[in-house]
Structure 1
Amino acid sequence: MSDQSLREAINDLFNRRWDEELPDEKEESLQDMFDNVIENYGWDQVFKAIDNYMRTTCLTSESIVNFANLFWGYTCTNPRKIPEPYRFLGYLYYRVNSKPWDYDCAEVYEGLVFNMLSGEDDYNHNPFTNYDYIPEKDPDIIAEVEKLREENL
C-alpha cells in the first residue's frame, strides 16, 4: 500500500459524522478497516497520517470534536501509545479553547487523556479516579495550547 492509499484510508475513516447512525455491520467494517490499516502500515505510520489529517482538516471546534469522537471510537478498546501525547492533546484542547465541556466532548477528551497519559500503575493523569487532576489545568497541555496560540493557527 502506498502513502496515498494510507491517506485515502484515513480520510475514509475520519471524513464522516461521528454521531451518524450506522448499521452494526458498517460500524464493524470501519473498525476492521482501521485495524487492517494498522496491520498493513504499523501504528507509528498510521498515527502520523492521523495526526496530519487532524492538523490539516480539523480547523474548527466542530470538526475537532467530530474527529476526537471518531478517534476515541476506533481506539478506546485498544488504546495505543503515541509519540508526543501532549502535542496531540494540546491540539485537541486548542481547538475547543480548552473548554471541552462547552462542546459536549469532555468525557471523550478525558478518556483520551487517560488512555494516552496513564499507565497501568499511573493514576496521576486519570481524571476518573484522581479528582485533583484536571486536564485543562495540566501544565504540559497548557504549554502545548499556548504554543499553538502563539503560532496563531
Structure 2
Amino acid sequence: MSSNLKNKIKLYFDQNWYDETIPDEVRERYDDEFESIIKEYKWNNVYPVLKDILINDCNDEASIVNWCHHFWDYALIYEYKVPNPEMLVAYLYSKVDIVNNSDAFDILDTIAISVLPINLMETPCYAANADPKIQHRIEDLKSGKIQF
C-alpha cells in the first residue's frame, strides 16, 4: 500500500463530516478532487486503502460513522463496486451501536443497500442488521472467528 495514496485519502477522510463551517462549494471541490484520486490510482488500489483506514485508524463509533459518510460521498455515489460487500457491511454493524445512534443507522443502512446485491423491489423493507447472513458474519467478527 502506498503511503502517499493513504496520506492523500486521509486528507479527506480525517475531516469532520459534520463540520458545517465548510461551504458547499468547498465540499463540491473535495468531491471532484477525490474523484480525481480514484481516476489516477484506480478504484482497485483506492479501496484497500479505504479499508485500511477504516480498520486501523477509526478507533471509535464516531470515527467509523464519519468514515461511512465520507465513503458514501466520495466513493459510493459514483457506484464503484465494493469487493466482498457482505463483509464490509457486517464489519460496520459489528463496530457501531445502531440502536442508540439513528445517524449511524441511517448511513450504515444506506451503505448496505448500496453495496449489497439486493433487489429492493423484491425486499422493500430490507435491513442488513436483520439479514441472517449478515447477522452470522457480525457474530463471527465479534467473536474473532473471522476478520475483515
TM-score by length of 2: 0.86
Provide structure 2 residue ranges, at least 5 long, that are not aligned to the other structure: none
1:124 deviates by: 6.5
Instruction: Name the CA shift for 1:15/1:147 in 2 (closer, same or farther; >3 Å).
Output: same
Give the number of equivalent residue pairs: 144
Whole-Å Cα distance in 2 between the matches of residues 58 and 144 of structure 1? 20
Amino acid in the other structure paired with 1:149: K
Q: Is the 8 A contact 2:96 2:104 kept in 1?
A: no
Cα RMSD after superposing both structures: 2.2
1:17 deviates by: 0.7
Q: Is the 8 A contact 1:59 1:95 kept in 2?
A: no
Provide structure 1 residue ranges, at least 5 long, that are not aligned to the other structure: none
Q: Is the 8 A contact 1:89 1:141 kept in 2?
A: yes
Query: Aligned pair 1:4/2:14, yes or no?
Result: no
CA deviation profile, 1:59-102 (whole Å, cap 9, x unmatched): 211111111112122235322111100111111101114xx242
TM-score by length of 1: 0.83
Identity %: 26
Which ranges of 4 or more aligned residues in structure 1 deviate by more than 3 Å? none
Whole-Å Cα distance in 2 between the matches of residues 125 and 89 of structure 1? 20
Report 1:30-49 matches (<5 A).
30-49=30-49
1:125 deviates by: 8.1
Aligned to 1:135: 128
